[in-house]
Amino acid sequence: MQIIDSGMGTGFQNLIGGLRSKVIRSLRLATLLFGLLGLVWANNAYSASKSILVLGDSLSAEYGLARGSGWVALLQQRLQAEKFDSSITNASISGETSSGGKTRLPALLQQRPDIVIIELGANDALRGLQLSATESNLRAMISAAQQAKAKVLLVGMRIPPNYGRDYTEKFFSLYATLAQQTKVPLVPFLLDGVADKPELFQADRIHPVAQAHPVILNNVWSGLKPLLAK
């Protein structure tokens, strides 16, 4: 007959129970630590300091607006609100053409921006310039920025149909073609959600009022945010 010491059995059970509790606590602690590390990694991915260069025309230069109400200024506020440690240089000039932007860009790239937003070409089209020249200038700017190790966000535009359907459609499509060929993200149309609302434009019917710029910012943000995370 086998005799089992009940005291020894109870002690063994207590030992097993204690070990099980320690293992469970260790697993919970490990899970918590991995979760915290994941949050740190995610935060670092989004909050690493990045400098942004905006190279645009009057649509980005707050033409006819109070200082701080244009989409670029609103972008700085958005970055701060979403905890992105990023700075912006707005090198936009009213009336700027793609040729002017190409000329100015090399000096601006000496600041070593991480991201370059190119919002140019509309003034070329409004002046009826050759689309081949606009395409060439934009391509040169994209190439220069990429060679400087900057990521590029290309911003597309449309022009009024009174310039002729063929010209206006070819102008609009050149942005998508360039983005595909140079492998850069594209904001298809800067004024999407604005262009068809006359009340969102100033008296010249070309430049949006301040109330339109949050919409414009959202258009740009959809293409910019993924670049901030890389």
- The residues assigned a catalytic role are 58, 204, 207
Residue 206 vs residues 96, 122, 126, 133, 213: alpha-carbon distances, Å: 15, 11, 11, 23, 13
Q: Is the torsion defined by CA of 73, 214, 100, 123 positive or negative?
A: negative
- Residue 52's contacts (CB-CB under 8 Å, 6 or more residues apart) are 75, 86, 87, 88, 89, 113, 114, 115, 116, 117, 224
- Helix ranges, 48-164 (H): 71-81, 98-109, 122-126, 131-147
> In angstroms, how far apart are the furthest CA atoms of the chain?
108
Other beta carbons within 10 Å of 32: 10
Beta strands in the chain (DSSP E): 50-56, 86-90, 115-119, 151-155, 186-187
For tokens 């009057």, name the residue: 58
Q: Strands 186-187, 151-155: parallel, antiparallel or unpaired by DSSP?
A: parallel
Partner residues linked to 86 by β-bridges? 50
